[in-house]
Structure formats: C-alpha cells, structure tokens
Amino acid sequence: MDTLPWSRPVQFEIDVGRYRILVSTEEASHFLLNDWPAIKGPRLIDARRVCLDVMAGMDKPDNARTAFVAACKEADMRVMP
C-alpha cells in the first residue's frame, strides 16, 4: 500500500468556510469512501478506482491526486491552487 505523500497537498473547501488538506492517496481514499458529499458522478468513481490502484501498487500516487482534484471539481468543491 502506498502511503507516501503526493508531490503537492490538495486543499479544498468542503463547505462554506470549511477546508480540508489531504497529502496522500491513503487520506484521499478514506475521504472518498467515508466523507464525500452527496454529489456523485463519474469522476468520483474514477478517483476511487485510481486510489485503489495506487494502494495496490498498480499506479502512481500523483495520478490519484489528479483524479481526486477532478472529483472535487465535479462536486463543485473549490480546490485551492
């Protein structure tokens, strides 16, 4: 299982004035499965799959980061630069 940090953390707004910062695939996977808002779509499914692939050693951590950011944007969560 990959627990190494991403090349850059992801800071995003989960609600007005409430922010989270995630730094690894493991954290993103937990958030995607347990804390994700009600908005679901294809980017969410893709992010979950990529996170599982990374933790199984079949993909790169930064691909999980990219997929997570895409899912956030799909769910209308503001991602900080």
Confidence of residue 2 (pLDDT cuts 50, 70, 90): low
Confidence of residue 32 (pLDDT cuts 50, 70, 90): very high
Angle (CA) 31-66-11 rounded to 5° is 55
Reported pTM: 0.93
**Mean pLDDT of the 22-47 span:** 95
Distance CA 14, CA 75 (A): 10
Angle (CA) 13-51-3 rounded to 5° is 90
